[in-house]
């Protein structure tokens, strides 16, 4: 014979289940409204403004040289930019070669989407900075630096 369920135990299980579902639902709602990157770059500021800026200032066929996350989110909203392998952002030479070959309308960099190594060893490099300053105009939105191509 099966023993009758203890009403106190059933009450505890139901309470724990309600707490679990409620906290998960609350976290999902908070992250849906978040003005920061919720994928892996926790704490990045201006994410919503970044994508609004890209949507407003780039055509649908624009090339955006950025990590996968940025390009993916841009493409969902407004574009058909190609994706670039992560190794492009790990090498100063490969980054410059790719930017020259692909002629992006904009480049998006920032600690929320690029690692510390990329920010310190690639984008702070004098050769990379000279290249960017020659062909692009720098715009800062929150934690992101956007380099918009200069058209002369």
Question: What is the strand order of the sheet 64-65 is part of?
Answer: 64-65, 106-110, 144-149, 136-141
> How does pLDDT run across 47-62, given as a tens digit for each residue?
889 989 998 999 888 8
| Residue 11, both tokens | 């009450």
pTM: 0.72
H/E stretch holding 9 reads helix 7-32
H/E stretch holding 12 reads helix 7-32
Handedness of CA 21, 22, 23, 25 (dihedral sign): positive
Nearest CA to 71 out of 60, 82, 87 is that of: 82
> How does pLDDT run across 89-127, given as a tens digit for each residue?
889 999 999 999 999 999 999 887 887 888 888 899 999
pLDDT at residue 21, rounded to an integer: 92
CA 11 to chain centre: 43
């Amino acid at each position: 014979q099966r023993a009758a369920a203890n009403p106190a135990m059933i009450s505890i299980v139901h309470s724990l289940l309600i707490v679990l579902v409620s906290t998960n639902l609350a976290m999902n709602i908070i992250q849906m409204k978040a003005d920061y990157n919720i994928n892996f770059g926790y704490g990045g500021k201006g994410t919503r403004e970044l994508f609004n800026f890209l949507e407003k200032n780039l055509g649908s066929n624009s090339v955006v040289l950025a990590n996968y996350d940025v390009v993916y989110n841009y493409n969902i909203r407004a574009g058909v930019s190609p994706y670039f392998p992560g190794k492009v952002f790990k090498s100063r030479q490969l980054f410059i070669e790719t930017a020259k070959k692909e002629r992006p309308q904009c480049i998006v960099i920032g600690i929320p989407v690029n690692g510390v190594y990329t920010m310190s060893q690639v984008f702070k490099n004098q050769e990379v900075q000279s290249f960017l300053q020659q062909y692009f105009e720098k715009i800062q939105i929150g934690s992101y630096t956007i380099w918009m191509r200069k058209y002369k």
